[in-house]
Amino acid sequence: MKIATRKNKGSCKMRIEGEMNIYAAQELKVRLLDCLHNSLRLDLDLSKVSEIDTAGFQLLILAKREAGFLNKGFRILAHSEATSGMTGLLNMTGYFEEKDGAGNGSRLEKEREA
Amino acid sequence: MERELAEARQTFFTECAELLQEIENSLLRLEKTPEDQNTINSLFRAAHTIKGSSGIVGVESVERFTHVVESLLSRVRDGEVGINGGIIELLLECRDHISILVERAGAGENGGPPGEKEEALVARLNALLGCADKADGRKNGETEEAEATEQVHEGEAAERAAGTDLWHISIRFGANALRDGMDPVPFLVYLSRLGEIASIATLHDSMPQAAQMDPESCYLGFEIDFRSDFSKKEIEDVFEFVREDSVIHILPPRSKIGSYVELIGNLPEDSVLLGELLVRGGALTKDELDEALKLQSGFRAATDGLSAPGQSPYIGEIMVNERMVYPELVAAALEKQKKTKEHNASETVTIRIDAAKLDALVNLVGELVISSANVEQHARRLSDGSLVESASHMARLVDEIRDSTMKVRMVPIGDTFSRFNRVVRDIGRDCGKEIALEISGGDTELDKTVIEKINDPLMHLVRNAADHGIEGPEARAAAGKQAMGTIRLNAFHDAGCIVIEISDDGRGLNRTRILEKAHSLGLVANTQTLSDRELLGLIFEPGFSTAEAVTKLSGRGVGMDVVKRNIEALRGTVDVESAEGCGTTVRIRLPLTLAIIDGFMVGVNGSSYVIPLDMVVECVELSDADRQAADKRSYINLRGEVLPYIRLREYFNESGGGARFENVVIVQYAGHKTGLLVDELYGEVQTVVKSLGKMYKGVKGITGATIMGNGRVALILDVPRLIQSIELDMAV
């Protein structure tokens, strides 16, 4: 797994490449939480994720939930076949598209529409 | 592969024997209660299994024939063909034919064209099937309308019943699932291949705060509504590898609401949330859920007030009372649950073991018993306290191992008994008699090898009782008896033996004819007077079996000598009691096991002898007065009772003068007490019986030998024979 992060005006864009599985879970958890704590918004690009397992998927849920607690923004910018398959199978597509932390919601909505 | 197939064939043959027995039992039951649907079902299942497994192991002859039988049975099951005496007769013949086919296949003859008999049977089966077809056609025309209305009713009922045709699977994976390589997702993917996942909800509420969350633990659970034709077992099997650590609930389609409510109660998540999930999945309607939850809590509150929380009614009951579910539905669901449970139970309570493995185990335990006795002796000799203690502790464990090993070999005799139902029934039909077979004590257990060997003698005795013992209906009426004759098989434990009784209420033995026959055969001198026992015992003499005049009149004698020989080979004895006109009872006594016995060791002139402990009643010292008197007569006075005795020193021709003191071991067998005069009493020992081999077969009074802890040999006394020999001596 390779993680590339780019910070821009308080938002953090994270691009994950390769296998999002249990072997990388420890590292991924730290990186995800780190981004959330040190920025206002986390945008995930999963388009290069070749494989995702339950451990990886749990971390997506954790990040989404944590963002809610911390009142920060969270969204998935792009899915790969693997990640969209997984979210679809587990019927979680709607969960990740729900509005996140208050305050950022409206702005995010606008951005998405734009 | 070849070997595996051979093993599978072996299993097939063993199973077939059991299934054929099952078919026979079911048919005989049906004869009495033709409407019993359970019996019809088990009959069908047995035939179906035989057909299926014969196909798997490639025994075509069996598969082909059983298929036709199965077709008829399936019609019977569906109520298209009624049960009557003719059909049962035909099916019994078919069963016998299958049994012959299986035997032939076992002997390596497979295939070949069906014989004449088979063709005849198939023709008769087809005739019945053809009739059913015609009847079917007619019925269909007439009842089409009725069925249509029925369907409407069914539809309504289904609508009113709770639930849909969806399975509901609720699963919470164990925390270690991911670490163990049991990722939940592949299971779900696999599940989706068995049917259609109608809806799925992923639950992650049990995931802790970010700081405590371990990314390698699994926190997910799923609520799944699933559409599938597979059975519960097959759906369960999907989760086989995670079953241990996970919480899995699988609710079949149309489960009663109670099950859902119970499920909600059992799961860790918030009950409202879960209930809503169920509603969303379509498993429950919103109203039903609310109603059920409200009612349940309402009842709880009411009963809590009465401080009897345990009394709150089951939610299922509430549902029925409130007419939300029909009682039949609940009953059916319960019935189904019960059946699954029973099925599972019967699967786990027995395992098949190669008899050779068991024998090897028994042998080893036998050796263990010997060497443990050895260790104990050495320990005593060294008189090291702690060593003695350890040795005796070990001896106790060895005792227990011995007992449980012996128990493994014990089988209830009931199966053997119930086989005679058919024999009695067939003989009754052939001879135009009505005979009932009563079985009691079927759960009495004895050694498997003994059971196998007792089967033939028992068969002989039952046949004799049915054929010759029970009179024809006219004769019975003339004698003022019920038209239906009764044969009783009974078994019970008695002093280390099992006693098997075969009794009938027939005409009994004619003593005059027996005596006449004995005189003509020269077995008994004309002047000789015989006790009743001896007189009846004559029927076991070899010459009697062929004497037609006696068999016709007395009703006994066919192969009775063989029966006696077989039973004696098992170290057992056989007795007859008979009252003329009232019936006959044959009583067989057998040792419980052939391999290991508890013994009582005695010494005579330095040699050791073992008496089976179960037969020992007491030991007394022979007083001087008795000793002097005993030299002149062959009995002693035991507290005013006359006790015949055998001096083992003389019986076994042990040399050497008499010991200073003698002891009497009083043994009892079949109601007779006898004293055995010995020099020394050593006490209890565990004895592994070793047979003496053919060379010593003729030696009277000894059944076998055993090796003692010190490596020396002790002979095991054959008490029944010893007692017999005294009786003979006294008669002369």
Note the pLDDT tens digit of each residue in A19-56: 888 888 889 999 888 888 888 888 899 999 998 989 99
Question: Residues B173-193: what's their mean pLDDT?
Answer: 83
Q: Of the ranges A28-37, B306-315, B597-606, which one carries the lowest mean pLDDT score?
A: B306-315
pLDDT of residue A105: 41
Distances (CA, A) of B448 to B180, B364, B415, B440, B453: 45, 18, 12, 19, 9
Handedness of CA B206, B211, B217, B220 (dihedral sign): positive
| Contact list, A72 vs chain B (CB under 8 Å) | none
Question: Residues A68-85: what's their mean pLDDT?
Answer: 88
B67 CB burial (10 A radius; 0-12, 13-18, 19+): middle
DSSP H/E element including B589: strand B583-591
Q: Is A51 on the interface with B (CB under 8 A)?
A: no
Query: Confidence class of residue B730 from pLDDT cuts 50, 70 and 90?
Result: low
Q: Do the Cβ atoms of B365 and B356 come closer than 8 Å?
A: no
Q: What is the pLDDT of residues B538-573, one digit of tens each?
A: 777 766 654 444 444 344 444 777 788 788 777 788
Task: Name the residue among B188, B192, B207 with its Cβ closest to that of A58.
Answer: B207
Chain A nearest-CA distance from B245, in A, is: 17
* Residue with more model confidence, B522 or A101: B522
DSSP H/E element including B427: helix B420-431
Q: Is B280 a residue whose pLDDT tops 70? A: no
Chain B nearest-CA distance from A23, in A, is: 8
Chain B nearest-CA distance from A17, in A, is: 18
pLDDT above 70 covers a percentage of chain B that reads 74
> What mean pLDDT value characterizes chain B?
74
Residue written as token pair 């005739």: B127
Query: Confidence class of residue B477 from pLDDT cuts 50, 70 and 90?
Result: confident
pLDDT of residue B110: 58
Question: Residues B183-189: what's their mean pLDDT?
Answer: 84
* Residue with more model confidence, B633 or B71: B71
pLDDT of residue B285: 53
Cross-chain residue pair B200–A91, CB shorter than 8 Å = yes
| Contact list, B192 vs chain A (CB under 8 Å) | 89
Beta strand residue intervals within B626-711, DSSP E: 635-638, 641-647, 663-669, 672-678, 680-688, 702-707
Q: Of the ranges B423-432, B440-449, B617-626, B691-700, which one carries the lowest mean pLDDT score?
A: B691-700
Chain A nearest-CA distance from B124, in A, is: 57
Q: Which residues of B264-285 are buried (b: 16+ CB within 10 A; e: fewer)?
A: beebebeeeebbebbbebebbe
Q: What is the pLDDT of residues B116-152, one digit of tens each?
A: 788 888 888 888 777 555 444 444 444 444 444 444 3
Q: Of the ranges B166-175, B249-258, B460-469, B669-678, which one carries the lowest mean pLDDT score?
A: B249-258
Task: Name the residue among B199, B200, B219 with its Cβ closest to that of A58.
Answer: B219
B270, B210, B219: which is closest to A68 by C-alpha? B210
Q: What is the pLDDT of residues B604-631, one digit of tens each?
A: 888 889 998 878 888 888 877 777 776 6
Angstrom distance (rounded) from CA B582 to CA B505:
5
Angstrom distance (rounded) from CA B61 to CA B104:
9
Question: Residues B48-74: what's their mean pLDDT?
Answer: 82
Q: What is the pLDDT of residues B657-681, one digit of tens each?
A: 666 778 889 988 767 788 888 888 8
Task: Name the residue among B202, B210, B216 with its Cβ closest to that of A66.
Answer: B210
pLDDT of residue B310: 40
| Contact list, A58 vs chain B (CB under 8 Å) | 204, 207, 215, 218-220
pLDDT of residue B195: 80
Angstrom distance (rounded) from CA B537 to CA B544:
11
Query: DSSP letter at B472?
Result: P
Question: Residues B29-48: what's their mean pLDDT?
Answer: 82
Query: Confidence class of residue B307 from pLDDT cuts 50, 70 and 90?
Result: very low
Beta-carbon count within 10 A of B513 CB: 16
Question: Residues B80-86: what's their mean pLDDT?
Answer: 78
Cross-chain residue pair A54–B202, CB shorter than 8 Å = no
pLDDT of residue A107: 44
Angstrom distance (rounded) from CA B549 to CA B553:
6
DSSP H/E element including A68: helix A54-70
* Residue with more model confidence, B319 or B448: B448
- Token pair of B91 as six digits: 């099916």
pLDDT above 70 covers a percentage of chain A that reads 86
* Residue with more model confidence, A91 or B277: A91
pLDDT of residue B582: 82
| Contact list, B213 vs chain A (CB under 8 Å) | 29, 62
pLDDT of residue B254: 60
Beta-carbon count within 10 A of B662 CB: 20
pLDDT of residue B301: 46
Q: Do the Cβ atoms of A21 and B185 come closer than 8 Å?
A: no
Question: Residues B707-717: what's their mean pLDDT?
Answer: 80
Query: Confidence class of residue B413 from pLDDT cuts 50, 70 and 90?
Result: confident
Q: Is B463 a residue whose pLDDT tops 80? A: yes
Task: Name the residue among A59, A91, A92 with its Cβ closest to that of B215.
Answer: A59
B329, B168, B330: which is closest to B235 by C-alpha? B168
Q: Is B191 a residue whose pLDDT tops 80? A: yes
Q: Is A59 on the interface with B (CB under 8 A)?
A: yes
